[in-house]
Amino acid sequence: MKMFLISDNVDTYTGMRLAGVEGVVVHEREELRDALEKTISNKEIGIILLTEKFGREFPDIIDDVKLNHKLPLIIEIPDRHGTGRKADFITSYVNEAIGLKL
């Protein structure tokens, strides 16, 4: 299975291309939707890497794909500006998931 990048900036795209990961750069809502549909239809792709900006700006599109498709796996990655998440986001996520404070 292959990985595929959908990025909002050329720098992340270029870095991933140097690592051998193909991808596209999109900026608008419809471009993202089209790129996701095209990528999902390609059965060779097992992982879609998305820059975190898409998760913040278009959560409805991302959540729809995550809920309605087993594959490919969607992973949000930070871009060149770093992550937009809080420093303790993993602990918070685990606390939410299991209902216990660690």
CA distance 92 to 21: 31
CA–CA–CA angle 42, 15, 83 (5° rounding)? 90
Residue 13 reports pLDDT greater than 70: yes
User: Dihedral (C-alpha) 81, 16, 26, 50: value to the nearest 10 degrees?
Assistant: -70
Residues 19-46: tens digit of each pLDDT: 889 999 999 989 989 999 999 999 999 9
Give residue 57's pLDDT band: very low, low, confident or very high (50, 70, 90): confident
Give residue 92's pLDDT band: very low, low, confident or very high (50, 70, 90): low
CA distance 21 to 18: 7
Residues 62-90: tens digit of each pLDDT: 888 888 888 888 888 876 665 555 656 55
Three-class HEC string of 45-71: EEEEEEEHHHHHHCHHHHHHHHHHCCC
CATH fold, domain 2-98, is Rossmann fold (3.40.50)
pTM for the full model? 0.74
